Amino acid sequence: MSNQQNDFTKWYIDTIQKADLMDYTPVRGCIAFKPDGFEIWEHIKDEMDRRFKETGHRNAYFPMLIPESFFQKEKDHIEGFSPELPWVTEAAGEQLEERLALRPTSETMIGHLYSDWVKSYRDLPLLINQWANVFRWEKKTLPFIRTSEFLWQEGHTAHVDEEEARTETMQMLEIYKEVVEGLLAIPVYDGQKTPSERFAGAVDTFSIEAMMKDGKAVQAGTSHYLGTKFAEAFDIKYLTKENKHEFVHTTSWGTSTRLIGSVIMVHGDEQGLVLPPRIAPTQVVLIPVGPWKKNPAIMEKLDEIFAELKAKGIRVRLDDSDQSPGFKFNEWELKGVPVRLELGPRDLENNQALMKARDGEEKVAVDLAQAVASIEKELETMQTRLLEKARAFREEHSHTHIDKLDELKKHIEESAAKEEIPGWILAGWCGDDACEEHVKDETKFTTRNIPFNPPAEKTTCINCGKEAKHTVWFARAY
């Protein structure tokens, strides 16, 4: 394994390959999800989907190919996405009359269809989500975090007025926060994006931002209030109770498989993957040790524990392969399995087994009669422990004392000299795009969001020193 501190990117790639989560393909920037990698996404998807449905949303599916003319209807949208679009120009040996883009996002296709689906106030709100793949032809890629093709969900809703649409926008951001913190054990800062960072064509964009172990930020989810921009572009009108035609107010919101990369970067250690129990493909592995083949009672007991865990819905594996115990321990640690239970002849004599949590240092002896209960408890406490540990790391590397650009530059230099990560900076911003851009040019720190609940309020702009209109998180980002 590579060292996290010396080369975080190499450590990350080594980790996901040794954990057997993905493989590269002949298509640049496109990866294959191996079963463990895809199952992590399935657990995220299932939890998200359950919450979406609880709030009245339904799933649908829309075409991957989008006519070029659709993008021309919303000028900010095409300007934002045109550099990343792959195009289909030929089919069945013939040139197409109009180029078709592989979808980077589906606002345009869905807007076109919503103009037919929405006729009256009785059709609203229209609450639809899509689970799909999208394409953004990235120049620099990193598996799960930034790829040319990735998996995601995108919600698209239409409402009678701004108030209802904005309520939807914030509701979905809150769902993202709850899932990322509760399921992935990743703490996030929620807030509003600055104009330069908002979604192409949105009125307002809101995000949850997560800190990785190298101090960089990952935008873990976004929710956009689109106003009537797309409704006007695609003529999505409804007849009001007063028999007047009005444009709908729309929203869109999404999370993607970059959440898998975030889990790895937040929780992984020098030994490899560390998975929060709630998303781990295998939550528990049972391993016989010592001369267990000569002692059938060992496997009988492990089979019994296996059946009990399975009956409780716990994802468990029994490793009775002929590899050495040391090899097995290392292999399952690399895969990030939360809990390991070992049972050998001496353990059986003492009516106990040895249990080890993936994020713990020591093995703990547990009574065989209480083994299943002990495992259940450890899975819960580990889930909480990982979130608390990640939150403590974030707090340690979130800096609120830097108020000037020169101070930020000095902080970056000193961090590099000490081989420490510079982390995130909470600073004031006057609202001028030029100031935001200058900080980025000088430091590679971009605005992450304007947090709803900042740990401090800033009064002066970090760049120009004028009165701050906003308190903003700055960080380097993936």
Q: Give me the CATH topology for the region 398-475.
A: Translation Initiation Factor IF3 (3.30.110)
Give me the pLDDT at residue 229, please: 93
Residue 47 makes CB contacts below 8 A (sequence gap 6+) with: 179, 183, 278
DSSP-derived secondary structure for 349-416:
HTTEEEEEETT-SS-EEEEGGGHHHHHHHHHHHHHHHHHHHHHHHHHHTEE----SHHHHHHHHHHHH
Give me the pLDDT at residue 81, please: 73
Can you tell me the mean pLDDT for 255-280?
97
The secondary element (H helix, E strand) that includes residue 189 is strand 189-192
Can you tell me the mean pLDDT for 111-134?
97
pTM: 0.95
Give me the pLDDT at residue 75, please: 67
DSSP reduced 3-state for 450: strand
Answer yes or no: is pLDDT of 26 > 60.
yes
Measured between alpha carbons, how far is residue 12 from residues 5, 16, 150 in Å? Answer: 11, 6, 18
Give the residue from 451, 240, 277, 264 showing the smallest Cα distance to 357: 277
Q: Are 126 and 158 in contact (CB under 8 A)?
A: yes
Mean pLDDT of the chain: 96
Give me the pLDDT at residue 138, please: 86
Domains 8-267 and 398-475 equal at CATH topology level = no
Take residue 46 and report the two structure tokens written for it.
């299932």
Q: Give me the CATH topology for the region 8-267.
A: BirA Bifunctional Protein; domain 2 (3.30.930)
Take residue 142 and report the two structure tokens written for it.
């990193």
Q: Can you give the C-alpha Rg of the chain in angstroms?
A: 25
Residue 420 makes CB contacts below 8 A (sequence gap 6+) with: none
Q: What superfamily does domain 284-383 belong to in CATH?
A: Anticodon-binding domain (3.40.50.800)
Main-chain phi, psi angles of 222, to 5 degrees: -135, 150
Measured between alpha carbons, how far is residue 261 from residues 14, 21, 217, 258 in Å? Answer: 13, 10, 12, 5
DSSP reduced 3-state for 101: strand
Pairwise CA distance, residues 191 & 208, whole Å? 7
Query: pLDDT band for position 21 (50/70/90)?
Result: very high
**pLDDT above 70 coverage of the chain, percent:** 99
- Structural domain boundaries in the chain: 8-267, 284-383, 398-475
Query: pLDDT band for position 79 (50/70/90)?
Result: confident
